[in-house]
Amino acid sequence: MLQFGKIAIIGAGNVSYTLCKLLKDKDIEPFCVFVRNESEAVKMRADLNVETVSDYEKVMLSDLAIIAVNDDAISEVASHLVDYKGLAVHTSGTRPSETLSEIERYGVFYPLQTMSKGREIAFDDVPILIYANMPEDLIRLRGFSAALSSKVEYCDDEQRKAVHLAAVYVSNFTDVMLEIGAKILKDNGLDLSMMRHLVKETMQKAFEMSPEKALTGPARRGDMETIENHMKMLEKYPEEQDIYKLLTNFILEKYHENEKL
Amino acid sequence: MLQFGKIAIIGAGNVSYTLCKLLKDKDIEPFCVFVRNESEAVKMRADLNVETVSDYEKVMLSDLAIIAVNDDAISEVASHLVDYKGLAVHTSGTRPSETLSEIERYGVFYPLQTMSKGREIAFDDVPILIYANMPEDLIRLRGFSAALSSKVEYCDDEQRKAVHLAAVYVSNFTDVMLEIGAKILKDNGLDLSMMRHLVKETMQKAFEMSPEKALTGPARRGDMETIENHMKMLEKYPEEQDIYKLLTNFILEKYHENEKL
């Protein structure tokens, strides 16, 4: 069976932390973790009981190197791995796999999830999107990923870029909508927590029916009186009003051609 | 104990359907359901096994009349209930309670949820926001609502309007974000379902931490290279690009004052 023996992880951020923890939970001991900054290395050893290194000597002896650093730092890390004989993968949603193309065997290991240090995630069904330039490595990488999640999918650079862009809408921008909702509620002596049930049902509906079929509300109904009232209430929040206007027109245009704010 | 005997429901839409079903599940038989349109009445009798009426004679004999009709139709219904001796409530998030003020005893019964016919909701913890012009009715309405949900809250007209506005952001607009995400994925041979885990975790994080603390992504990091790439990818979707630009600037302004699209 094609698989990896020694696994090195590079980085000390959210993704590196989450991966180290996950591997240890699965009884896969990371061969070493490369951390340049000594105080971060101290913290990581204390938190996760892993072996950290601060030069690439030991990394070069591994079979799989997972580069879990900021997008901007990937090239710099790759420049140290030019003679690497194992498979080097990065974890970025946006950078092409070719960022690593000076290394003989390269690929991508992209877990589709929002990760924060200190927040545990049930990783079992987090989609892991994988790519490798050599077919045998793709098989190895699939086997490795399948040990971590039940949802492993092949994804080329173009698709991964689309996934990352879509994730900005469905994750970052939905979060901003909750932020605005929370602000309006707070200014009226109310708390976002009252929306939890509504948000949960909205999301379930969208995934089970489809976002189009699940859509309700004044813009979907073409209820201009309510929309005008909302616009008035938003006069003290000019930026949030701009967002209301743009998104309401986006919906009206689709369902009520003749109405517009 | 202050409570209602006979409960009439007015309307044949999503809210009326959901309430009738819910009452029957709790072994509370609606006294009658007012449905003007005969073919809708036939359907409702067949679906829910309730007694429907098409004039207000029997409604006038009830103790609580729940007006679950379109916002625009509330006044018209109220005009028939001027001599009503029971408590008349509407179910609208946006209309003031005074829409019913020609009736002696009036109020609001607003379930904070998105409802569609044929889709069952676990109603037990749907917040029900209540208001009544007379203190004794408020107590009765609280008792009635508490039989349906564990989360009953008093809410005046101003607060309810704010709740409804916030709901547009956290429910309708988040749904639109999923719709855009789905479109981008579909055009790249991928399906929205791959985002389910990410969306679930995003929402949980936002409610458990706070939307501000939960926010990640390129705009939060000030990663202008990724943002510029996204803007390029969005050139073929001009409307979605406008939304990306506005929301990205909204985030940048807050965390990276000197950056702007």
Nearest C-alpha in A relative to B129: A194
Rounded Cα gap, residues B151 and B142, in angstroms: 10
Token digits of residue A255: 């369902």
Burial group, residue B13, by CB count within 10 angstroms (0-12, 13-18, 19+): middle
SS3 label, residue A240: helix
- Please give the single-letter amino acid code of residue B118: G
Question: B216: distance to nearest CA of chain A, Å?
Answer: 6
B77-96 residues touching A, CB cutoff 8 A: 94
User: In a structure prediction context, what are the per-residue pLDDT tens digits for chain A, which is 261 residues long?
Assistant: 668 899 999 999 988 999 999 999 999 999 999 999 999 999 999 999 999 999 999 999 999 999 999 888 999 999 999 999 999 999 999 999 999 999 999 999 999 988 776 677 778 889 999 999 999 999 999 999 999 999 999 999 999 999 999 999 999 999 999 999 999 999 999 999 999 999 999 999 999 999 999 999 999 999 999 999 999 999 999 999 999 999 999 999 999 999 998
Q: What is the pLDDT of residues B33-80, one digit of tens each?
A: 999 999 999 999 999 999 999 999 999 999 999 999 988 899 999 999
Rounded Cα gap, residues B61 and B78, in angstroms: 15
When CB atoms are compared, the residue of B153, B211, B233 closest to A175 is B211
Confidence at residue A55, expressed as pLDDT on a 0 to 100 scale = 94
- Please give the single-letter amino acid code of residue B165: L
pTM of the model: 0.90
B238 in contact with A, Cβ within 8 Å: no
Rounded Cα gap, residues B250 and A244, in angstroms: 13
When CB atoms are compared, the residue of A180, A210, A217 closest to B172 is A217
Nearest C-alpha in B relative to A234: B165
Confidence at residue B120, expressed as pLDDT on a 0 to 100 scale = 76
When CB atoms are compared, the residue of A175, A198, A234 closest to B171 is A198
Confidence at residue A1, expressed as pLDDT on a 0 to 100 scale = 60
B180 in contact with A, Cβ within 8 Å: yes
B53 in contact with A, Cβ within 8 Å: no
Candidates A72, A177, A114; CA nearest to B217 is: A114
pLDDT (average), residues B118-142: 90
Whether B112 and A220 lie within 8 Å, measured CB to CB? no
Nearest C-alpha in B relative to A231: B165
Q: What is the pLDDT of residues B137-176, one digit of tens each?
A: 999 999 999 999 999 999 999 999 999 999 999 999 999 9
pLDDT of B121 strictly over 80: no
Rounded Cα gap, residues B46 and B67, in angstroms: 21
| Degrees to nearest 5, angle at CA A217 with B46 and B137 | 70
Inter-residue contact A32 to A53 (CB < 8 Å): yes
Burial group, residue B128, by CB count within 10 angstroms (0-12, 13-18, 19+): buried
Q: At what angle do helices A174-186 and A238-255 cross, to 10 degrees?
A: 120
pLDDT of B119 strictly over 90: no
Nearest C-alpha in B relative to A176: B211
Q: How many CB pairs under 8 A join A and B?
A: 290
When CB atoms are compared, the residue of B175, B226, B240 closest to A214 is B175
Write the ipTM: 0.90
When CB atoms are compared, the residue of B171, B201, B234 closest to A114 is B201
SS3 label, residue B31: coil
